[in-house]
Structure 1
Amino acid sequence: MTENAPAGWYPQPDGSQRYWDGSEWTPHIAPAAVSAPESAPGEANSEAPVANVSPPDGRPLWKKKRLIIPVAAVAAVIGISALGAAAGGGADEVAASSPSPTPSEEPSAEPTESAAPSMLTMPDVIGVNLQEAQDSLQALGSYALDQEDASGDGRVQVIDSNWRVCAQEPAAGAEVPVEATVLLSAVLEEEPCPGDEPPETSQAQEEEEPAEEEPAEEEPADEGPQETAGQENARESAESYLAFSAFSRSGLMDQLDYEGYDAADAEYAVDAVGADWSEQAAKSAESYLDFSAFSKSGLIDQLEYEGFTTKQATYGADAVDANWSEQAVKSAESYLDFSSFSRAGLIDQLEYEGFTTKQATYAVDQVGL
Protein backbone atom coordinates (compact mmCIF):
# COMPACT_ATOMS: atom_id res chain seq x y z
CA MET A 1 0.00 0.00 0.00
CA THR A 2 1.33 3.43 -1.00
CA GLU A 3 1.22 6.14 1.71
CA ASN A 4 1.94 9.86 1.74
CA ALA A 5 5.41 11.19 2.68
CA PRO A 6 5.91 12.17 6.33
CA ALA A 7 5.29 15.75 7.42
CA GLY A 8 8.23 18.14 7.03
CA TRP A 9 9.86 20.97 5.06
CA TYR A 10 10.49 20.24 1.40
CA PRO A 11 12.48 22.27 -1.21
CA GLN A 12 10.51 24.09 -3.93
CA PRO A 13 11.65 24.83 -7.47
CA ASP A 14 12.36 28.49 -6.54
CA GLY A 15 14.76 27.37 -3.74
CA SER A 16 12.34 28.10 -0.86
CA GLN A 17 11.02 25.56 1.57
CA ARG A 18 7.38 24.63 1.91
CA TYR A 19 5.81 22.65 4.69
CA TRP A 20 4.05 19.34 3.99
CA ASP A 21 1.78 18.31 6.95
CA GLY A 22 1.64 14.67 5.89
CA SER A 23 -1.63 14.94 3.92
CA GLU A 24 -1.41 18.23 1.99
CA TRP A 25 0.72 21.30 1.38
CA THR A 26 0.34 24.15 3.87
CA PRO A 27 0.67 27.87 3.05
CA HIS A 28 3.78 28.10 5.24
CA ILE A 29 6.93 28.91 3.20
CA ALA A 30 10.42 29.48 4.64
CA PRO A 31 12.99 31.60 2.76
CA ALA A 32 15.97 29.54 3.87
CA ALA A 33 16.56 25.91 3.20
CA VAL A 34 15.53 23.51 5.92
CA SER A 35 16.84 19.99 6.14
CA ALA A 36 14.32 17.80 4.43
CA PRO A 37 13.80 14.10 3.96
CA GLU A 38 15.74 12.48 1.11
CA SER A 39 12.61 11.99 -0.98
CA ALA A 40 11.00 15.42 -1.44
CA PRO A 41 7.48 15.88 -2.67
CA GLY A 42 6.88 17.41 -6.05
CA GLU A 43 5.91 20.97 -6.80
CA ALA A 44 3.21 22.65 -4.92
CA ASN A 45 0.67 22.04 -7.65
CA SER A 46 1.70 18.44 -8.10
CA GLU A 47 0.08 15.59 -6.31
CA ALA A 48 1.08 14.94 -2.76
CA PRO A 49 4.27 12.91 -2.43
CA VAL A 50 3.88 9.43 -1.17
CA ALA A 51 6.16 7.19 0.81
CA ASN A 52 6.03 3.53 1.60
CA VAL A 53 6.01 4.04 5.35
CA SER A 54 4.05 1.81 7.68
CA PRO A 55 2.96 3.55 10.91
CA PRO A 56 4.22 1.76 13.99
CA ASP A 57 0.77 1.54 15.55
CA GLY A 58 -0.98 0.27 12.42
CA ARG A 59 -3.13 3.44 11.99
CA PRO A 60 -3.11 5.41 8.70
CA LEU A 61 -0.19 7.90 8.73
CA TRP A 62 -2.32 10.80 7.48
CA LYS A 63 -4.30 10.73 10.67
CA LYS A 64 -1.18 11.27 12.83
CA LYS A 65 -0.70 15.04 12.50
CA ARG A 66 1.82 17.00 14.54
CA LEU A 67 1.63 20.67 15.51
CA ILE A 68 4.40 22.54 13.67
CA ILE A 69 5.00 26.26 14.26
CA PRO A 70 6.08 27.81 10.95
CA VAL A 71 8.94 30.28 10.85
CA ALA A 72 6.63 33.20 10.15
CA ALA A 73 4.55 32.32 13.20
CA VAL A 74 7.74 32.10 15.26
CA ALA A 75 8.77 35.53 14.01
CA ALA A 76 5.35 36.92 14.91
CA VAL A 77 5.63 35.49 18.40
CA ILE A 78 9.11 36.99 18.78
CA GLY A 79 7.77 40.36 17.68
CA ILE A 80 4.90 40.22 20.12
CA SER A 81 7.33 39.24 22.85
CA ALA A 82 9.52 42.21 22.00
CA LEU A 83 6.54 44.58 22.16
CA GLY A 84 5.57 43.03 25.50
CA ALA A 85 9.10 43.46 26.81
CA ALA A 86 9.09 47.09 25.71
CA ALA A 87 5.77 47.64 27.39
CA GLY A 88 7.05 45.83 30.45
CA GLY A 89 10.19 47.95 30.45
CA GLY A 90 8.07 51.08 30.39
CA ALA A 91 6.05 49.74 33.28
CA ASP A 92 9.26 49.00 35.13
CA GLU A 93 10.44 52.54 34.55
CA VAL A 94 7.13 53.89 35.82
CA ALA A 95 7.38 51.56 38.80
CA ALA A 96 10.98 52.65 39.37
CA SER A 97 10.03 56.32 39.18
CA SER A 98 7.19 55.80 41.67
CA PRO A 99 8.27 56.32 45.26
CA SER A 100 8.43 53.12 47.24
CA PRO A 101 6.01 52.98 50.12
CA THR A 102 7.79 53.67 53.33
CA PRO A 103 6.99 51.08 56.03
CA SER A 104 5.67 52.54 59.19
CA GLU A 105 8.30 53.04 61.79
CA GLU A 106 8.50 50.11 64.12
CA PRO A 107 9.14 50.60 67.80
CA SER A 108 12.72 50.35 68.83
CA ALA A 109 13.75 46.76 69.46
CA GLU A 110 16.04 47.87 72.21
CA PRO A 111 14.52 46.92 75.56
CA THR A 112 13.94 49.72 77.98
CA GLU A 113 15.68 49.31 81.28
CA SER A 114 13.18 48.64 84.02
CA ALA A 115 13.54 50.47 87.26
CA ALA A 116 15.67 48.51 89.72
CA PRO A 117 13.90 47.59 92.95
CA SER A 118 14.86 49.57 96.05
CA MET A 119 17.31 47.65 98.19
CA LEU A 120 18.23 47.79 101.85
CA THR A 121 20.95 46.31 103.99
CA MET A 122 19.41 44.16 106.71
CA PRO A 123 20.28 45.49 110.18
CA ASP A 124 21.22 43.18 113.04
CA VAL A 125 18.15 43.08 115.30
CA ILE A 126 18.92 39.86 117.19
CA GLY A 127 18.62 40.51 120.92
CA VAL A 128 16.59 43.67 120.30
CA ASN A 129 13.12 44.24 121.68
CA LEU A 130 10.63 43.01 119.05
CA GLN A 131 8.77 46.32 118.87
CA GLU A 132 12.03 48.27 118.50
CA ALA A 133 13.23 45.86 115.80
CA GLN A 134 10.02 46.40 113.81
CA ASP A 135 10.34 50.17 114.19
CA SER A 136 13.94 50.04 112.92
CA LEU A 137 12.98 47.98 109.85
CA GLN A 138 10.01 50.20 109.03
CA ALA A 139 12.27 53.25 109.25
CA LEU A 140 14.34 51.65 106.47
CA GLY A 141 11.22 51.16 104.32
CA SER A 142 10.64 47.46 105.11
CA TYR A 143 6.96 46.87 105.92
CA ALA A 144 6.55 43.20 104.91
CA LEU A 145 7.19 41.95 108.45
CA ASP A 146 6.25 38.58 109.88
CA GLN A 147 6.90 37.18 113.35
CA GLU A 148 6.73 33.85 115.14
CA ASP A 149 7.24 32.30 118.55
CA ALA A 150 10.87 31.14 118.58
CA SER A 151 10.11 28.59 121.30
CA GLY A 152 7.95 26.61 118.88
CA ASP A 153 4.91 26.76 121.18
CA GLY A 154 2.93 28.85 118.67
CA ARG A 155 2.11 31.60 121.17
CA VAL A 156 0.49 34.78 119.89
CA GLN A 157 2.68 37.85 120.38
CA VAL A 158 0.00 40.23 121.59
CA ILE A 159 2.31 42.94 122.95
CA ASP A 160 5.45 43.10 120.83
CA SER A 161 7.28 45.19 123.42
CA ASN A 162 7.26 42.17 125.79
CA TRP A 163 9.20 40.04 123.30
CA ARG A 164 12.82 39.86 122.22
CA VAL A 165 14.19 38.85 118.80
CA CYS A 166 16.18 35.58 118.75
CA ALA A 167 16.56 35.08 115.00
CA GLN A 168 15.96 36.99 111.79
CA GLU A 169 15.58 36.04 108.16
CA PRO A 170 17.18 37.46 105.97
CA ALA A 171 20.37 37.61 108.03
CA ALA A 172 22.05 40.83 109.11
CA GLY A 173 24.10 42.44 106.35
CA ALA A 174 22.13 40.86 103.50
CA GLU A 175 21.16 43.11 100.60
CA VAL A 176 17.44 42.55 99.95
CA PRO A 177 14.59 44.42 98.20
CA VAL A 178 12.49 46.54 100.52
CA GLU A 179 9.49 44.41 99.47
CA ALA A 180 11.11 41.21 100.82
CA THR A 181 9.34 39.56 103.75
CA VAL A 182 11.35 39.73 106.97
CA LEU A 183 10.68 37.00 109.55
CA LEU A 184 11.49 37.76 113.18
CA SER A 185 11.51 34.88 115.67
CA ALA A 186 11.13 36.03 119.26
CA VAL A 187 10.64 34.88 122.84
CA LEU A 188 9.36 36.70 125.90
CA GLU A 189 11.86 39.12 127.38
CA GLU A 190 12.53 36.96 130.44
CA GLU A 191 13.07 33.76 128.41
CA PRO A 192 16.33 32.57 126.86
CA CYS A 193 16.46 32.09 123.11
CA PRO A 194 16.43 28.47 121.90
CA GLY A 195 19.97 27.12 122.09
CA ASP A 196 21.13 29.75 124.60
CA GLU A 197 22.36 28.63 127.98
CA PRO A 198 20.04 29.75 130.77
CA PRO A 199 21.45 32.61 132.83
CA GLU A 200 23.25 31.56 135.95
CA THR A 201 21.39 32.17 139.17
CA SER A 202 22.73 31.88 142.66
CA GLN A 203 21.28 29.39 145.07
CA ALA A 204 20.37 32.26 147.35
CA GLN A 205 18.37 33.87 144.57
CA GLU A 206 16.51 30.62 143.86
CA GLU A 207 15.65 30.32 147.54
CA GLU A 208 14.31 33.85 147.63
CA GLU A 209 11.91 33.33 144.70
CA PRO A 210 9.00 31.97 146.82
CA ALA A 211 9.19 35.03 149.05
CA GLU A 212 8.32 37.18 145.99
CA GLU A 213 4.79 35.79 146.07
CA GLU A 214 3.80 38.40 148.65
CA PRO A 215 4.69 41.87 147.32
CA ALA A 216 3.29 43.49 150.49
CA GLU A 217 6.11 41.91 152.46
CA GLU A 218 8.79 43.37 150.21
CA GLU A 219 10.77 46.07 151.87
CA PRO A 220 12.76 48.77 150.13
CA ALA A 221 16.43 48.09 149.90
CA ASP A 222 18.32 49.17 152.97
CA GLU A 223 20.57 52.11 152.45
CA GLY A 224 23.98 50.64 152.38
CA PRO A 225 27.29 51.65 151.05
CA GLN A 226 27.50 53.69 147.86
CA GLU A 227 26.50 51.86 144.68
CA THR A 228 29.16 50.14 142.70
CA ALA A 229 29.44 50.89 138.98
CA GLY A 230 27.75 47.58 138.16
CA GLN A 231 24.85 48.21 140.53
CA GLU A 232 24.35 51.73 139.22
CA ASN A 233 24.24 50.59 135.58
CA ALA A 234 21.85 47.74 136.40
CA ARG A 235 19.52 50.09 138.32
CA GLU A 236 19.48 52.62 135.47
CA SER A 237 18.65 49.83 132.97
CA ALA A 238 15.84 48.59 135.21
CA GLU A 239 14.37 52.08 135.46
CA SER A 240 14.56 52.45 131.66
CA TYR A 241 12.73 49.18 131.10
CA LEU A 242 9.95 50.08 133.54
CA ALA A 243 9.51 53.46 131.85
CA PHE A 244 8.98 51.69 128.56
CA SER A 245 6.84 48.70 129.53
CA ALA A 246 5.32 46.81 132.46
CA PHE A 247 7.32 43.99 134.03
CA SER A 248 6.91 41.49 136.80
CA ARG A 249 9.80 41.30 139.26
CA SER A 250 11.02 38.00 137.88
CA GLY A 251 10.56 39.23 134.33
CA LEU A 252 12.68 42.32 134.99
CA MET A 253 15.32 40.23 136.74
CA ASP A 254 15.55 37.88 133.76
CA GLN A 255 15.82 40.82 131.39
CA LEU A 256 18.76 42.29 133.29
CA ASP A 257 20.41 38.88 133.45
CA TYR A 258 19.98 38.60 129.70
CA GLU A 259 21.63 41.98 129.27
CA GLY A 260 24.71 40.51 130.94
CA TYR A 261 24.50 42.04 134.38
CA ASP A 262 25.83 40.10 137.32
CA ALA A 263 23.06 38.27 139.14
CA ALA A 264 23.76 40.19 142.36
CA ASP A 265 23.74 43.54 140.55
CA ALA A 266 20.49 42.63 138.76
CA GLU A 267 18.83 41.67 142.05
CA TYR A 268 20.04 44.89 143.62
CA ALA A 269 18.63 46.93 140.71
CA VAL A 270 15.21 45.25 140.80
CA ASP A 271 14.87 46.03 144.49
CA ALA A 272 16.38 49.52 144.15
CA VAL A 273 13.78 50.78 141.65
CA GLY A 274 11.08 50.34 144.30
CA ALA A 275 8.43 49.23 141.80
CA ASP A 276 4.91 48.35 142.89
CA TRP A 277 4.56 44.98 141.16
CA SER A 278 0.80 44.90 141.62
CA GLU A 279 0.56 48.20 139.73
CA GLN A 280 2.86 46.75 137.11
CA ALA A 281 0.38 43.87 136.77
CA ALA A 282 -2.46 46.38 136.30
CA LYS A 283 -0.52 48.21 133.58
CA SER A 284 0.24 44.94 131.81
CA ALA A 285 -3.46 43.94 132.02
CA GLU A 286 -4.51 47.25 130.42
CA SER A 287 -1.99 46.71 127.65
CA TYR A 288 -3.35 43.23 126.89
CA LEU A 289 -6.96 44.45 126.76
CA ASP A 290 -5.95 47.19 124.31
CA PHE A 291 -5.04 44.52 121.76
CA SER A 292 -7.32 41.57 122.45
CA ALA A 293 -10.37 40.38 124.37
CA PHE A 294 -9.90 38.32 127.52
CA SER A 295 -12.06 36.72 130.14
CA LYS A 296 -11.06 37.59 133.69
CA SER A 297 -9.61 34.13 134.33
CA GLY A 298 -7.86 34.18 130.95
CA LEU A 299 -6.26 37.54 131.75
CA ILE A 300 -5.09 36.32 135.16
CA ASP A 301 -3.52 33.25 133.51
CA GLN A 302 -1.71 35.47 131.02
CA LEU A 303 -0.34 37.74 133.76
CA GLU A 304 0.87 34.74 135.74
CA TYR A 305 2.61 33.52 132.60
CA GLU A 306 4.43 36.87 132.45
CA GLY A 307 5.81 36.20 135.95
CA PHE A 308 3.32 37.96 138.20
CA THR A 309 2.12 36.13 141.29
CA THR A 310 -1.50 35.00 141.49
CA LYS A 311 -2.23 37.79 143.93
CA GLN A 312 -0.61 40.41 141.69
CA ALA A 313 -2.34 39.05 138.58
CA THR A 314 -5.74 39.05 140.32
CA TYR A 315 -5.14 42.63 141.46
CA GLY A 316 -4.25 43.61 137.89
CA ALA A 317 -7.39 42.00 136.43
CA ASP A 318 -9.59 43.71 139.03
CA ALA A 319 -7.87 47.07 138.57
CA VAL A 320 -8.77 47.40 134.89
CA ASP A 321 -12.46 47.28 135.85
CA ALA A 322 -13.34 45.58 132.55
CA ASN A 323 -16.88 44.71 131.47
CA TRP A 324 -16.33 41.00 131.00
CA SER A 325 -19.62 40.54 129.17
CA GLU A 326 -18.48 43.09 126.58
CA GLN A 327 -15.12 41.31 126.44
CA ALA A 328 -17.08 38.13 125.62
CA VAL A 329 -18.86 39.97 122.77
CA LYS A 330 -15.52 41.14 121.33
CA SER A 331 -14.12 37.65 121.58
CA ALA A 332 -17.22 36.17 119.86
CA GLU A 333 -16.96 38.69 117.02
CA SER A 334 -13.28 37.84 116.62
CA TYR A 335 -14.06 34.13 116.38
CA LEU A 336 -16.77 34.71 113.76
CA ASP A 337 -14.39 36.82 111.66
CA PHE A 338 -12.24 33.76 111.11
CA SER A 339 -14.59 30.78 111.31
CA SER A 340 -18.20 29.64 111.40
CA PHE A 341 -19.84 28.52 114.61
CA SER A 342 -23.18 27.22 115.71
CA ARG A 343 -24.75 28.98 118.69
CA ALA A 344 -23.92 26.12 121.03
CA GLY A 345 -20.45 25.75 119.58
CA LEU A 346 -19.62 29.43 120.07
CA ILE A 347 -20.90 29.35 123.67
CA ASP A 348 -18.66 26.33 124.35
CA GLN A 349 -15.67 28.11 122.85
CA LEU A 350 -16.21 31.22 124.96
CA GLU A 351 -16.60 29.14 128.11
CA TYR A 352 -13.36 27.39 127.21
CA GLU A 353 -11.70 30.82 127.09
CA GLY A 354 -12.79 31.41 130.70
CA PHE A 355 -16.04 33.34 130.28
CA THR A 356 -18.98 32.35 132.44
CA THR A 357 -22.03 30.73 130.86
CA LYS A 358 -23.96 33.94 131.43
CA GLN A 359 -21.27 36.07 129.76
CA ALA A 360 -20.91 33.62 126.84
CA THR A 361 -24.71 33.49 126.28
CA TYR A 362 -24.90 37.28 126.36
CA ALA A 363 -22.16 37.53 123.76
CA VAL A 364 -23.80 35.01 121.42
CA ASP A 365 -27.10 36.90 121.70
CA GLN A 366 -25.33 40.15 120.81
CA VAL A 367 -23.72 38.75 117.66
CA GLY A 368 -27.09 37.44 116.47
CA LEU A 369 -26.75 33.68 116.81
Structure 2
Amino acid sequence: MSRPAASTADPGTQTTSAPTTPPANSPWYKRKAIVIPVGIVAGIILISGVGNALARGGGGDSTAPAPPSAQSQEEAAAVEVLVPDTTGLTAKEAQALIENVGLDVEFSAEEGVVLDRDNWTVKSTTPAAGDTAQEGDTVVVNVEKILTEEEQAAAAAEEAFAAMTVAQQSAVRSAESYLSFKGFSRAGLTQQLTSEYGEGFDPADAEFAIAHIEKTGGVDWNQEAVQSAESYLDFKGFSRDGLFEQLTSEYGESFTPEQANYALDQVGL
Protein backbone atom coordinates (compact mmCIF):
# COMPACT_ATOMS: atom_id res chain seq x y z
CA MET A 1 0.00 0.00 0.00
CA SER A 2 1.50 3.32 -1.05
CA ARG A 3 1.68 6.40 1.23
CA PRO A 4 0.59 9.86 0.20
CA ALA A 5 3.33 12.14 -0.99
CA ALA A 6 4.74 14.42 1.64
CA SER A 7 4.08 18.11 1.24
CA THR A 8 6.99 20.18 0.09
CA ALA A 9 5.71 23.35 1.66
CA ASP A 10 7.54 24.91 4.55
CA PRO A 11 5.68 23.97 7.68
CA GLY A 12 6.52 27.39 9.22
CA THR A 13 4.80 29.23 6.42
CA GLN A 14 1.01 29.81 6.83
CA THR A 15 -0.89 29.83 3.60
CA THR A 16 -3.66 32.47 3.29
CA SER A 17 -6.30 32.15 0.67
CA ALA A 18 -7.07 35.24 -1.50
CA PRO A 19 -10.40 36.94 -0.80
CA THR A 20 -13.07 35.81 -3.04
CA THR A 21 -14.68 38.56 -5.15
CA PRO A 22 -18.43 38.25 -5.12
CA PRO A 23 -19.65 37.24 -8.46
CA ALA A 24 -21.23 39.91 -10.59
CA ASN A 25 -24.63 38.44 -10.17
CA SER A 26 -24.49 38.61 -6.33
CA PRO A 27 -27.34 40.56 -4.61
CA TRP A 28 -26.90 44.38 -4.34
CA TYR A 29 -26.65 44.36 -0.56
CA LYS A 30 -23.68 42.04 -0.77
CA ARG A 31 -21.92 44.05 -3.45
CA LYS A 32 -22.40 47.35 -1.43
CA ALA A 33 -21.77 45.96 1.98
CA ILE A 34 -18.47 47.84 2.13
CA VAL A 35 -19.25 50.86 -0.13
CA ILE A 36 -22.26 52.16 1.85
CA PRO A 37 -20.58 52.39 5.30
CA VAL A 38 -17.57 54.09 3.75
CA GLY A 39 -19.84 56.73 2.11
CA ILE A 40 -21.61 57.48 5.36
CA VAL A 41 -18.33 58.04 7.22
CA ALA A 42 -17.06 60.33 4.44
CA GLY A 43 -20.27 62.41 4.63
CA ILE A 44 -19.96 62.91 8.38
CA ILE A 45 -16.36 64.06 7.99
CA LEU A 46 -17.37 66.52 5.23
CA ILE A 47 -20.19 68.05 7.30
CA SER A 48 -17.90 68.39 10.31
CA GLY A 49 -15.34 70.18 8.20
CA VAL A 50 -17.87 72.66 6.84
CA GLY A 51 -19.12 73.44 10.38
CA ASN A 52 -15.60 74.11 11.59
CA ALA A 53 -14.90 76.34 8.62
CA LEU A 54 -18.03 78.41 9.31
CA ALA A 55 -17.06 78.73 12.96
CA ARG A 56 -13.61 79.96 11.98
CA GLY A 57 -15.14 82.41 9.49
CA GLY A 58 -17.24 83.95 12.28
CA GLY A 59 -14.16 84.84 14.30
CA GLY A 60 -13.31 81.38 15.58
CA ASP A 61 -15.66 81.72 18.58
CA SER A 62 -18.95 80.02 17.94
CA THR A 63 -20.20 81.13 21.39
CA ALA A 64 -19.78 84.91 20.74
CA PRO A 65 -23.08 86.83 21.42
CA ALA A 66 -24.98 88.32 18.50
CA PRO A 67 -24.59 92.12 18.03
CA PRO A 68 -27.38 94.18 19.71
CA SER A 69 -30.31 95.18 17.50
CA ALA A 70 -31.04 98.82 16.59
CA GLN A 71 -34.08 98.79 18.88
CA SER A 72 -32.10 97.59 21.89
CA GLN A 73 -29.45 100.24 21.20
CA GLU A 74 -32.15 102.97 21.16
CA GLU A 75 -33.63 101.66 24.40
CA ALA A 76 -30.21 101.66 26.02
CA ALA A 77 -29.57 105.20 24.82
CA ALA A 78 -32.96 106.57 26.09
CA VAL A 79 -32.59 108.95 29.04
CA GLU A 80 -35.48 109.58 31.44
CA VAL A 81 -35.99 113.11 32.79
CA LEU A 82 -38.49 114.74 35.14
CA VAL A 83 -41.06 117.15 33.69
CA PRO A 84 -40.47 120.49 35.45
CA ASP A 85 -43.24 122.41 37.21
CA THR A 86 -44.10 125.46 35.08
CA THR A 87 -47.53 126.33 36.49
CA GLY A 88 -48.05 130.09 36.63
CA LEU A 89 -45.06 130.89 34.41
CA THR A 90 -45.40 132.64 31.09
CA ALA A 91 -45.36 130.44 28.00
CA LYS A 92 -41.94 131.83 27.14
CA GLU A 93 -40.48 130.98 30.55
CA ALA A 94 -42.03 127.51 30.49
CA GLN A 95 -40.62 126.73 27.06
CA ALA A 96 -37.08 127.65 28.14
CA LEU A 97 -37.32 125.54 31.31
CA ILE A 98 -38.74 122.45 29.57
CA GLU A 99 -36.32 122.56 26.65
CA ASN A 100 -33.43 122.95 29.10
CA VAL A 101 -34.03 119.38 30.38
CA GLY A 102 -34.12 117.95 26.85
CA LEU A 103 -37.86 117.88 26.10
CA ASP A 104 -39.80 119.45 23.23
CA VAL A 105 -42.74 121.83 23.74
CA GLU A 106 -46.19 122.12 22.16
CA PHE A 107 -48.67 124.80 23.30
CA SER A 108 -52.41 124.24 23.68
CA ALA A 109 -55.02 126.98 24.33
CA GLU A 110 -58.80 126.73 24.58
CA GLU A 111 -59.17 130.01 22.69
CA GLY A 112 -56.76 131.94 20.50
CA VAL A 113 -53.34 131.21 19.03
CA VAL A 114 -50.16 131.37 21.11
CA LEU A 115 -48.06 134.00 19.32
CA ASP A 116 -46.60 136.44 21.86
CA ARG A 117 -45.59 133.94 24.55
CA ASP A 118 -45.20 136.66 27.16
CA ASN A 119 -48.99 137.15 27.07
CA TRP A 120 -49.89 133.57 28.01
CA THR A 121 -49.62 131.82 31.37
CA VAL A 122 -49.30 128.08 32.07
CA LYS A 123 -52.21 126.22 33.67
CA SER A 124 -50.86 122.65 33.45
CA THR A 125 -48.77 120.28 31.34
CA THR A 126 -49.17 116.82 29.84
CA PRO A 127 -47.32 114.81 31.18
CA ALA A 128 -47.85 116.53 34.53
CA ALA A 129 -45.10 118.20 36.52
CA GLY A 130 -42.97 115.59 38.33
CA ASP A 131 -43.78 112.77 35.88
CA THR A 132 -40.96 111.12 33.93
CA ALA A 133 -40.50 111.34 30.18
CA GLN A 134 -37.80 110.23 27.77
CA GLU A 135 -35.41 112.84 26.49
CA GLY A 136 -36.76 114.20 23.21
CA ASP A 137 -40.43 113.56 24.08
CA THR A 138 -42.99 116.36 23.61
CA VAL A 139 -44.65 118.07 26.57
CA VAL A 140 -48.03 119.70 25.86
CA VAL A 141 -48.23 123.01 27.74
CA ASN A 142 -51.82 124.12 28.43
CA VAL A 143 -51.98 127.93 28.58
CA GLU A 144 -54.48 130.76 29.00
CA LYS A 145 -54.30 134.39 27.87
CA ILE A 146 -53.00 136.97 30.33
CA LEU A 147 -55.64 139.71 30.44
CA THR A 148 -54.96 143.40 30.94
CA GLU A 149 -56.67 145.17 33.85
CA GLU A 150 -59.33 146.49 31.51
CA GLU A 151 -59.91 143.04 30.02
CA GLN A 152 -60.10 141.50 33.48
CA ALA A 153 -62.66 144.10 34.57
CA ALA A 154 -64.73 143.52 31.45
CA ALA A 155 -64.62 139.75 31.94
CA ALA A 156 -65.67 140.11 35.57
CA ALA A 157 -68.53 142.43 34.61
CA GLU A 158 -69.72 140.03 31.95
CA GLU A 159 -69.67 137.15 34.40
CA ALA A 160 -71.53 139.17 37.02
CA PHE A 161 -74.10 140.35 34.45
CA ALA A 162 -74.83 136.74 33.47
CA ALA A 163 -75.67 135.96 37.10
CA MET A 164 -78.23 138.81 37.43
CA THR A 165 -81.97 138.55 37.32
CA VAL A 166 -83.75 139.92 34.27
CA ALA A 167 -84.95 142.99 36.25
CA GLN A 168 -81.41 143.72 37.44
CA GLN A 169 -80.02 143.37 33.92
CA SER A 170 -82.67 145.79 32.64
CA ALA A 171 -81.86 148.33 35.35
CA VAL A 172 -78.15 148.13 34.51
CA ARG A 173 -78.81 148.70 30.80
CA SER A 174 -81.08 151.67 31.55
CA ALA A 175 -78.58 153.27 33.94
CA GLU A 176 -75.74 152.91 31.44
CA SER A 177 -77.92 154.46 28.75
CA TYR A 178 -78.72 157.54 30.92
CA LEU A 179 -75.06 158.03 31.84
CA SER A 180 -74.07 158.02 28.17
CA PHE A 181 -76.66 160.74 27.43
CA LYS A 182 -75.90 163.44 30.06
CA GLY A 183 -74.21 164.03 33.39
CA PHE A 184 -76.00 162.49 36.37
CA SER A 185 -75.27 162.50 40.06
CA ARG A 186 -75.79 159.26 41.94
CA ALA A 187 -78.94 160.64 43.61
CA GLY A 188 -80.19 162.06 40.33
CA LEU A 189 -79.74 158.73 38.52
CA THR A 190 -81.49 156.85 41.32
CA GLN A 191 -84.42 159.26 41.05
CA GLN A 192 -84.55 158.82 37.28
CA LEU A 193 -84.57 155.02 37.52
CA THR A 194 -87.19 154.75 40.28
CA SER A 195 -89.54 157.66 39.52
CA GLU A 196 -92.95 156.90 38.10
CA TYR A 197 -92.16 159.58 35.56
CA GLY A 198 -88.87 157.88 34.80
CA GLU A 199 -88.25 154.15 34.48
CA GLY A 200 -90.20 152.98 37.50
CA PHE A 201 -87.69 150.30 38.59
CA ASP A 202 -87.91 148.81 42.01
CA PRO A 203 -85.54 150.78 44.31
CA ALA A 204 -83.60 147.58 45.09
CA ASP A 205 -83.00 146.89 41.40
CA ALA A 206 -82.02 150.52 40.77
CA GLU A 207 -79.54 150.44 43.66
CA PHE A 208 -78.14 147.14 42.43
CA ALA A 209 -77.63 148.58 38.93
CA ILE A 210 -75.83 151.72 40.16
CA ALA A 211 -73.62 149.72 42.57
CA HIS A 212 -72.72 147.32 39.76
CA ILE A 213 -71.71 150.21 37.49
CA GLU A 214 -69.59 151.75 40.27
CA LYS A 215 -67.89 148.42 41.01
CA THR A 216 -66.97 147.78 37.40
CA GLY A 217 -65.60 151.29 36.89
CA GLY A 218 -68.40 152.39 34.62
CA VAL A 219 -68.92 155.79 36.23
CA ASP A 220 -66.88 158.68 37.68
CA TRP A 221 -69.20 161.02 39.60
CA ASN A 222 -66.72 163.90 39.44
CA GLN A 223 -66.65 163.67 35.66
CA GLU A 224 -70.44 163.44 35.63
CA ALA A 225 -70.54 166.75 37.53
CA VAL A 226 -68.17 168.33 34.99
CA GLN A 227 -70.35 167.14 32.13
CA SER A 228 -73.46 168.55 33.82
CA ALA A 229 -71.77 171.93 34.50
CA GLU A 230 -70.65 172.20 30.86
CA SER A 231 -74.18 171.42 29.74
CA TYR A 232 -75.61 174.24 31.88
CA LEU A 233 -73.01 176.73 30.65
CA ASP A 234 -73.82 175.82 27.05
CA PHE A 235 -77.44 176.70 27.79
CA LYS A 236 -76.93 180.05 29.60
CA GLY A 237 -74.44 182.02 31.63
CA PHE A 238 -73.94 181.19 35.34
CA SER A 239 -71.93 182.63 38.17
CA ARG A 240 -69.95 180.19 40.27
CA ASP A 241 -72.44 180.43 43.13
CA GLY A 242 -75.39 180.12 40.80
CA LEU A 243 -74.03 177.06 39.05
CA PHE A 244 -72.99 175.58 42.39
CA GLU A 245 -76.59 175.91 43.57
CA GLN A 246 -77.89 174.34 40.40
CA LEU A 247 -75.51 171.39 40.68
CA THR A 248 -76.16 170.68 44.37
CA SER A 249 -79.85 171.48 44.73
CA GLU A 250 -82.27 168.63 45.19
CA TYR A 251 -84.32 170.29 42.48
CA GLY A 252 -81.25 170.46 40.29
CA GLU A 253 -78.67 167.70 39.84
CA SER A 254 -78.10 166.71 43.48
CA PHE A 255 -74.30 166.42 43.25
CA THR A 256 -72.34 166.54 46.49
CA PRO A 257 -70.61 169.86 47.32
CA GLU A 258 -67.22 168.22 46.66
CA GLN A 259 -68.30 167.04 43.22
CA ALA A 260 -69.82 170.44 42.35
CA ASN A 261 -66.67 172.35 43.37
CA TYR A 262 -64.51 169.95 41.36
CA ALA A 263 -66.70 170.58 38.31
CA LEU A 264 -66.62 174.38 38.74
CA ASP A 265 -62.83 174.31 38.94
CA GLN A 266 -62.66 172.25 35.77
CA VAL A 267 -64.90 174.63 33.77
CA GLY A 268 -63.00 177.69 34.99
CA LEU A 269 -65.50 179.35 37.36
Q: TM-score range by the shorter chain?
A: 0.3 to 0.5
With structure 1 as the length reference, what TM-score do the two structures score?
Answer: 0.28
With structure 2 as the length reference, what TM-score do the two structures score?
Answer: 0.37
Q: Which has the higher helix share?
A: 2
Q: Tell which has more relative contact order, 1 or 2 (C-alpha 8 A, sep 6+).
A: 2
